[in-house]
């Protein structure tokens, strides 16, 4: 394995249970060992914050500050080594002085979205495994997060749509409704909905193609999107879609006002994750091990698409409790896929004995509680 990006050092201050923690690394695969509660996942979470969003636990930043710290801030610094050089990335949060809360590259501030120009971080956690049995809204959020890693405009599209949907509801509550204004808002909703619909269809198809052609080694699975409304058809053109959607929005104004939400839309979507080829089985009926292997397969498919898109491999994978629920066969397949992916990978587990297949280019760190 020769990954094109490597976390050579991570320094953590006042983060979760770690008051001070530093780790130096020179290997492609990093395994963090230790008892439950010592802070292995917290280290992965610290790395995951070098991506747009709230990291692998989706926590509020104030909750990440060490509870015993009186400083009111946390700081994370990682040193990245590339084939042609190295940089330092830092992430700081101060609850009293929010002006310093930002990403920095070699001490220069950058926007959150610009962090994707330097690295892409994907993760698998035990909480994520529940997506297989969760509601459609959770599955939709999962799919949208995957697509955001492939196209950073997808999140902007989704956020803008949600914002303008809320604006429409506020308008509907007014006694004197400005018809011209509400019509322009509904046209914008229709246009953004079309683009989001197309984005979901396009990138889900790409993920499925990778799952079908490459990732049968772990578990063969597919993602299926099924919209409840016939308006969402693969064959429909934009102009026709927008016109029909506007008509539906107009008809549903009273219903949407009473329910305080948009009842028609791109969120009227059923997401199904299925295992198998001919006799497909819904993921929620599969075992914990099968669900986990499907999740890993999907994340690895996305990682491969990122590599192909950028023509470079700046992907870092974080797998928490990597071997939990996996039998020996799937543990071996996981190791094979990690080597084939050729990305920088961080894993956690309670004992190094769980990683007997991980020998070459692997370093083991025994994590201790630093409170």
The two tokens of residue 11 are: 């320094």
Half-sphere exposure of 238 (CA within 13 A, CB side): 11
Q: Kindly state the tokens that stand for 98.
A: 């929010």
Q: At what angle do helices 179-213 and 238-251 cross, to 10 degrees?
A: 130
pLDDT at 265: 73
Q: Any idea which architecture 5-119+314-366 has in CATH?
A: 3-Layer(aba) Sandwich (3.40)
Neighbour tally for 251: CB within 10 Å: 11
Query: Where do runs of H (alpha helix) occur along the chain?
Result: 40-48, 136-150, 153-172, 179-213, 238-251, 253-259, 288-310, 328-341
pTM of the model: 0.91
Give the residue carrying structure tokens 């984005």: 199
pLDDT in tens, the chain (371 residues): 889 999 999 999 999 999 999 999 999 999 999 999 999 999 999 999 999 889 999 999 999 999 988 889 999 999 999 999 999 999 999 988 877 788 999 999 998 889 989 999 999 999 998 888 888 888 888 999 899 989 989 988 999 999 999 999 999 999 899 999 999 999 999 999 999 989 999 999 999 999 887 655 577 788 888 776 667 776 788 999 999 999 999 999 999 999 998 887 776 778 889 988 778 898 889 999 889 999 999 999 999 999 998 888 899 999 999 999 998 888 988 998 999 899 999 999 999 999 988 878 899 999 987 65
- 95 DSSP assignment: S
The residue whose two tokens read 């060992």 is: 33
Query: Considering only CA atoms, which of 368, 362, 366 is closest in space to residue 30?
Result: 362
DSSP bridge pairs for 81: 6, 86
- Tell me how far the alpha carbon of residue 84 is from its chain's centroid: 28
Q: Quick check: 192 and 164 in contact, CB under 8 A?
A: yes
What per-residue confidence (pLDDT) applies to 256? 93
Whether residue 22 contacts residue 10, with contact meaning beta carbons closer than 8 Å, is answered with yes
Burial of 323 (0-12, 13-18, 19+ CB in 10 A): buried
Instruction: Give, in words, the CATH class of 132-275.
Output: mainly alpha
Write the CA distances from 112 to 64, 102, 124, integer angstroms.
18, 7, 22
Please state, in angstroms and rounded to a whole number, the distance separating the CA atoms of residues 89 and 92.
Answer: 10
Nearest to 317 by CA among 341, 336, 352: 341
Task: Classify strands 29-33 and 102-105 as parallel, antiparallel or unpaired.
Answer: unpaired
In angstroms, the Cα distances linking 115 to 23, 48, 109, 148, 153 are: 22, 12, 10, 13, 14
For residue 215, the model assigns a pLDDT of 58
- Tokens 């991980």 locate to 358
Angstrom CA distances, 309 to 78, 113, 128, 142, 151, stand at: 25, 17, 25, 21, 10
Query: Closest Cα partner for 338 from 353, 359, 366?
Result: 359
Locate the domains of the chain by residue range: 5-119+314-366, 132-275
Task: Give phi and psi for 276, each to the nearest 5.
Answer: 105, 180
Look-up of token digits 């009926």: 285
Work out the number of other CB atoms within 10 angstroms of the CB of residue 70: 6
């Amino acid at each position: 394995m020769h990954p094109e990006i490597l976390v050579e050092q991570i320094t953590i201050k006042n983060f979760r249970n770690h008051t001070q923690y530093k780790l130096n690394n020179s290997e492609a695969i990093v395994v963090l060992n230790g008892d439950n509660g010592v802070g292995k996942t917290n280290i992965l979470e610290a790395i995951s914050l070098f991506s747009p969003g709230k990291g692998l636990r989706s926590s509020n930043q104030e909750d990440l500050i060490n509870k015993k710290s009186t400083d009111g801030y946390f700081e994370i610094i990682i040193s990245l080594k590339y084939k042609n050089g190295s940089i330092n990335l830092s992430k700081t949060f101060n609850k009293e002085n929010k002006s310093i809360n930002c990403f920095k590259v070699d001490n220069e501030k950058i926007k959150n979205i610009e962090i994707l120009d330097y690295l892409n971080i994907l993760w698998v956690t035990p909480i994520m495994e529940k997506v297989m049995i969760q509601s459609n809204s959770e599955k939709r959020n999962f799919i949208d997060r995957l697509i955001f890693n492939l196209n950073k405009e997808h999140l902007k599209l989704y956020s803008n749509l949600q914002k303008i949907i809320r604006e429409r509801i506020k308008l509907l509550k007014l006694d004197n409704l400005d018809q011209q204004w509400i019509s322009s808002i509904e046209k914008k909703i229709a246009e953004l909905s079309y683009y989001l619909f197309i984005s979901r269809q396009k990138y889900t198809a790409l993920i499925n193609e990778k799952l079908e052609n490459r990732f049968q080694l772990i578990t063969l699975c597919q993602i299926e999107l099924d919209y409840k409304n016939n308006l969402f058809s693969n064959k429909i053109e934009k102009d026709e879609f927008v016109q029909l959607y506007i008509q539906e929005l107009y008809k549903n104004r009273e219903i949407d006002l009473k329910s305080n939400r948009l009842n028609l839309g791109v969120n009227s979507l059923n997401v199904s994750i299925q295992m198998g080829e001919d006799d497909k089985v819904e993921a929620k009926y599969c075992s914990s091990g099968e669900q986990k292997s499907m999740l890993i397969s999907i994340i690895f498919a996305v990682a491969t698409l990122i590599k192909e898109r950028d023509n470079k491999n700046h992907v870092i994978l974080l797998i928490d409790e990597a071997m939990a629920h996996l039998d020996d066969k799937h543990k071996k397949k996981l190791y094979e896929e990690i080597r084939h992916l050729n990305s920088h990978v961080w894993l956690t587990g309670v004992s190094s004995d769980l990683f007997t297949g991980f020998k070459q280019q692997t370093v083991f760190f025994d994590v201790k509680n630093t409170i």
